[in-house]
Structure 1
Amino acid sequence: MGALDRRRSRSCRCGGLSSEEVVALRPLPQRDKIQERLQMVFPPDTFNTVLSSPQAAAAVAAMLYVDAVVPDSGPTLEETYWARPTTCLWLSDEAYSRTNDDDRLAWREAASKRRATVVALLKDWGHPLNAWYADNSRETLRDETLPGWLGFGALRDRPGVKTTSSYGRWALTESFADLFDPDLDGKALTEAVEAWISSHMTPGDRYRIRRAREMGRRDVSVIVNLPDGSTRNLEPGEASMILKGVVEDWAPRRLAEPEVLTISEPGNKILLADGATLAEIGLLINVSTLLPDALLVDLGAEPRPKFWLVEAVSSDGPIDEDRKAALLRWAEDQRIPPGDCEFLTAFASRHHPSARKRLKDLAAGTFAWYADEPGRELAWYEIS
């Protein structure tokens, strides 16, 4: 019988259940497989990485090991085992390799007491305690990972137990625990993950996951629909997907009458048609020294059109103070007043490594935008 159909209860010296209610505990997946599945549910470029980190995987493994699993909703059994952060920190490779139910329940009973009891049990098994994590590493798990999962319905907290209590208060929900069944694989795994995401996440979160998957595609050219109805084929890659979002999602929301003057990419600095348009209106861009990823104009801005200089950051290259100064010098050479220039740095997601690394470098008087949250924008400006 697979874990998807299993309801677990067990007689043991720590749980107090009757011997008639004995059912096998869930099978245990490898920790690296747990992290892979966590990243399917919570892509690290889209969600806070604490939701799918190695420590998060250890937490899932520990709660499966001690059978801290509850129904998704409704009342919980009085004998339910609730984990605490130390349950996830004190587990070790030696203990996790002992997969029979009696050993798992013995470790669970020891971990419900104190660290010395776990040390004594491991000693009886012929091993020192090589815990996965030190006790002083519990803050991230306690303050970010577990509350984060709680918000998505991946686990439940124990009613009536304060956050400062030493009693266990966390358990995985059955539907979330089911995703880590080692027998679940291939298409069935993908479908199970999609079903869980559909039933537990908001449309906004699902959109962010969809965008993250699109960003990861490297084998298909990116088709951008321009405001004038024409299309542009860009090279495959994350930067092209960000530019697609800028043109199709950001510009219609932000600009009164957007037009794309040019989009650059590594193999095609300025498209011939873009070059002709730029020459016709008297703009010159030296592709060897200065080339924004995109140049847009808002023809509906008052009192004059606004030029938007855009950088799409997949790894580096935000509009910092030096970059902004260089772009303003270019604008001055083209007889564009500085007040007619606006600047946008676009990222895939605020959780993407490039955003976490480079947001601090943004120049004053510029904006930032994230492709997976198209209806929002950050502004960094002087308070006057």
Structure 2
Amino acid sequence: MRPLIDPAEAERRLAALFPRSAFDTVLSSAQAGWAISALIYAGAVVDDEAPTVWARPTTVLWQQESVLAFHTTDADRAAWRRSALKGQAALQSLLTEWGEHHEPKYRDTSRETLRDETFKKWNELGAMRRLAGLPTSSSKPTWALEQHFADLFDPGLQGDALNTAVDAWIARHMAPGQRLRAQQAHLLHKARQAVQVVLPDGTVRTLEPGLSSLIIKNVVEVWAPRALQQPVVLTISEPGAKLLVSDHAVLTSIGLSLDVNNILPDALIADLGADPVEFWIIEAVASDGPITDSRRRDLLTWAEGQGIDTDDCRFLTAFQSRGAAPARRRLKDLGAGTLAWFVDEPDHALRWDLYWPSVHPRSP
């Protein structure tokens, strides 16, 4: 089955495809984002080379957060789908086996909005297919996402690749007038929503809009002044551009030469107040990408190639919240010798390690 996507991330991508200032909001609402996640969970994606799994609106409405978060194997997903298509009693029986209460995200009374507005408009835009030959009032499962549309919600599709895929889909599936409206809405949104970061030296940098940029902003403006003695931001890497944000004098003073075309963390911050200088390698997790053991090894290799002593490297994975879906899903994968920090709890951090650390321990 396809990789699962967090509903909030699905909603964000829908808003990029169908900006709310230019399109009906039912195309990119929170319920629409939930629908994408639920349909992909159930495998309701058109497959012209194999039997397609079709869904009802209740496939979306009856889905719940605990199932999306904790019952994610292919076997679990197939079992949930079969039970949901049989009816609420069968679904409740399965959830009882799993130790879950049935806590659907949406009430059945909202099925008309989903079916007659969101699904219908997606169908008109070529994003969704309705099984032909059945009356509109049929109770049989009749809906599935088109493959090319579902491909846009692969969580592994990020950054420039995602932007390119979204632009290509818009060019292929929207009429000229719709494309123009989408383009203008994107330009206005970018101008209004760009994230401004105040660096420790007072310099202001503008980052692309998005949750990842907001997390980085908080790392720079909130975490760094609390955790470090004399922080200097050396790099911030964005989907659209990899930026060196420190001047050459600082880089030269610490003997550092950065290759932005190689593997690059979301941010690199040096603590010039430490002796020797410590280099904090930081990843901001808006949907995925924490510093795991394997990612830590890759980053150490990258740092060594930049002339950074690996003994001076520190690692931080930043999340929006402990309760956010990416944190619930990926905290278990944190690499040894790394910290996790949360924007909404700025005075605390979690450390995963093999020993009780001092304030700034050496990485093992």
TM-score, normalisation: structure 1: 0.49
* 1:89 and 2:61 matched: yes
* Residue 138 of structure 1, aligned match among 102, 111, 132: 111
* 1:204 and 2:177 matched: yes
Distance 1:159 1:38, change over 3 A: same
Name 1:32's counterpart in structure 2: 8
Name 2:83's counterpart in structure 1: 110
Question: Partner letter of residue 96 of structure 1?
Answer: L
Name 1:158's counterpart in structure 2: 131
Does the CA contact (< 8 Å) of 2:16 and 2:186 recur in 1?
A: no
Distance 1:217 1:181, change over 3 A: closer
Alpha-carbon shift at residue 62 of structure 1 (Å): 1.2
Alpha-carbon shift at residue 217 of structure 1 (Å): 4.8
Does the CA contact (< 8 Å) of 1:92 and 1:132 recur in 2?
A: yes
Alpha-carbon shift at residue 214 of structure 1 (Å): 2.8
Q: CA RMSD in A?
A: 1.3
Does the CA contact (< 8 Å) of 2:126 and 2:146 recur in 1?
A: yes
Alpha-carbon shift at residue 27 of structure 1 (Å): 0.6
Question: Could you tell me how far apart the structure 2 residues matched to 1:32 and 1:166 are?
Answer: 29
- 1:115-134 alignment runs, 5 A limit: 115-134=88-107
Q: What is the aligned residue count?
A: 191
Question: Could you tell me how far apart the structure 1 residues matched to 2:49 and 2:142 are?
Answer: 12
Question: Could you tell me how far apart the structure 2 residues matched to 1:214 and 1:87 are?
Answer: 35
- 1:349-368 alignment runs, 5 A limit: none
* Residue 49 of structure 1, aligned match among 6, 25, 32: 25
Does the CA contact (< 8 Å) of 1:28 and 1:182 recur in 2?
A: yes
Alpha-carbon shift at residue 133 of structure 1 (Å): 0.5
Question: Could you tell me how far apart the structure 2 residues matched to 1:191 and 1:65 are?
Answer: 25
Distance 1:218 1:57, change over 3 A: closer
- What's the CA shift string for 1:27-60, capped at 9, x where partnerless? 1011100000000100011100000001111111
Question: Could you tell me how far apart the structure 1 residues matched to 2:64 and 2:144 are?
Answer: 19
- 1:65-76 alignment runs, 5 A limit: 65-71=41-47
Does the CA contact (< 8 Å) of 1:197 and 1:206 recur in 2?
A: yes
Name 2:349's counterpart in structure 1: none
Question: Partner letter of residue 175 of structure 1?
Answer: H
Does the CA contact (< 8 Å) of 1:155 and 1:173 recur in 2?
A: yes
Does the CA contact (< 8 Å) of 1:68 and 1:170 recur in 2?
A: yes
* Residue 184 of structure 1, aligned match among 148, 154, 157: 157
Does the CA contact (< 8 Å) of 1:84 and 1:169 recur in 2?
A: yes
Does the CA contact (< 8 Å) of 1:65 and 1:104 recur in 2?
A: yes
Does the CA contact (< 8 Å) of 1:70 and 1:76 recur in 2?
A: no
Alpha-carbon shift at residue 139 of structure 1 (Å): 1.1
* 1:80 and 2:80 matched: no
Q: Secondary structure at the match of 2:129?
A: strand
- What's the CA shift string for 1:111-166, capped at 9, x where partnerless? 11111111111111001011110111111101100000001110111011221111
Question: Partner letter of residue 18 of structure 2?
Answer: F
Q: Secondary structure at the match of 2:144?
A: strand
- 1:329-340 alignment runs, 5 A limit: none
Alpha-carbon shift at residue 63 of structure 1 (Å): 1.0
Question: Could you tell me how far apart the structure 2 residues matched to 1:64 and 1:218 are?
Answer: 32
Does the CA contact (< 8 Å) of 1:35 and 1:54 recur in 2?
A: yes
Question: Partner letter of residue 125 of structure 1?
Answer: W
Q: Secondary structure at the match of 2:145?
A: strand
- What's the CA shift string for 1:232-263, capped at 9, x where partnerless? xxxxxxxxxxxxxxxxxxxxxxxxxxxxxxxx
TM-score, normalisation: structure 2: 0.51
Does the CA contact (< 8 Å) of 1:156 and 1:170 recur in 2?
A: yes
Q: Secondary structure at the match of 1:159?
A: coil
Q: Secondary structure at the match of 1:216?
A: helix
Question: Could you tell me how far apart the structure 1 residues matched to 2:186 and 2:134 are?
Answer: 39
Question: Partner letter of residue 198 of structure 1?
Answer: A
Question: Partner letter of residue 136 of structure 1?
Answer: T
Question: Could you tell me how far apart the structure 2 residues matched to 1:57 and 1:94 are?
Answer: 16
* 1:149 and 2:122 matched: yes
* Residue 72 of structure 2, aligned match among 76, 99, 107: 99
- What's the CA shift string for 1:291-348, capped at 9, x where partnerless? xxxxxxxxxxxxxxxxxxxxxxxxxxxxxxxxxxxxxxxxxxxxxxxxxxxxxxxxxx
- What's the CA shift string for 1:173-215, capped at 9, x where partnerless? 0110000001000000000000111100000000001121233
Unaligned runs of 5+ in 2: 193-364
